[in-house]
Structure 1
Amino acid sequence: MLFLQYPPCSTCKRAKAWLDERGMSYTARDIKAENPSYEELRKWYQRSGLPLKRFFNTSGLIYKALGLKEKLPEMSEEEQLRLLATDGMLVKRPLLITERGIVPGFREAEWEKLL
C-alpha cells in the first residue's frame, strides 16, 4: 500500500494516525518532495474509475493561483494529467494506493471500505 502525503498537512496527519491505529502496513511518500509522475497519475486515474478532478487539490493555493476552476473544463485529460505531474501540491492528498483501489483525499468511510 502506498500512502502519498504532505507531512505538514493536518488531514495527512489524521490519515496517517488512522492507518497506524489500525496497524496498517504502508509505504509513505512525501508528495511534494517526490511528485507522482505522469505515468503514475495516468495509471492511478484509470484504475480508480473516478473523475480526474478528484485528483486535484482544489483548495490548494496553486490551484487557485492558476485559475484552474475555470481552466480544467477546457483542458484534455492528457493536459490535466501532465499539469498534475508538474507539482505535488496540485495533487489531492493524502492519496492512498492499494491493490483494491485508489482514494484521493481522506474520507474514513471510503478508506474503511477500501481496506
Structure 2
Amino acid sequence: MIRLYGIGNCDTCRKARRWLSSAGIDFEWQDFDRHSVEVETVARWLDTAGLETLLNKQSKAWRELTDDQRAAVTASPASAMAQQVRLIKRPVLETSNAVIAGFSTARYAALFDA
C-alpha cells in the first residue's frame, strides 16, 4: 500500500498528488488536518528516513519554538512531531520499503521506475 501524508492546502503536497495520479499510481491520501498521525507511524518514518530528513526546520512551527522547545523536539521527536504535525517535512510518501519526505519528481520517478 502506498500512502501519501500531508496537508490538503500545501502546494508541494498537491504537486505530489498530481504526479502520482498522472503516473497512474494508486495511493491513499491522509490529510494531517483531518486525521492525526500516530506516534508509532512517525517513529517508523524516523527509523527509515532519519530526523534530519523528516524534521522541517524551514517551517514556521520550528522557527517559532524556543531553544528549550527545540531541544525537547530533538530529544523525543516522534511524539513531538505527532503532536505538532507542522514540524514534519511534507509530503511524506510511504511505501512498503521506502519513506520519502518532501517532493521531487526525480526521487518519485526513481522509486516507481516511471
Q: If the length of structure 1 is used for normalisation, what is the TM-score?
A: 0.84
| Distance (Å, rounded) in 2 between the aligned partners of 1:113 and 1:73 | 35
CA contact (8 A) 2:6 2:32 kept: yes
Distance of aligned partners of 1:95 and 1:33 in 2 relative to their CA distance in 1, 3 Å threshold: same
Change in Cα spacing, 1:24 to 1:57, as seen in structure 2 (3 Å) is same
Query: The residue matched to 1:75 in structure 2 has which SS?
Result: helix
Counting matched residue pairs gives: 110
CA contact (8 A) 2:62 2:70 kept: no
What are the ranges of 5 or more consecutive residues in structure 2 without an aligned counterpart?
none
Over 3 Å counting, the alpha-carbon distance change for 1:32 and 1:59 in structure 2 is: farther
> Residue 56 of structure 1 aligns with which residue?
55
Name the CA distance, whole Å, in 2 between partners of 1:32 and 1:97: 18
RMSD, aligned CA: 2.1
Superposed, 1:8-87 pairs within 5 Å as 8-46=9-47, 48=48, 50-67=49-66, 71-72=70-71, 75-76=74-75, 79-87=76-84
Is the 8 Å Cα contact of residues 32 and 89 (structure 1) preserved in structure 2? no
**Which residue number in structure 1 is paired with residue 106 of structure 2?**
109
Give aligned-pair identity as a percent: 22
- Normalised TM-score (structure 2): 0.84
1:71 deviation in Å? 3.0
Query: Residues 1-49 of structure 1, C-alpha deviation per residue, up to 9 Å, x if partnerless?
Result: 0011211111111111101110110000002222321111111221x2x
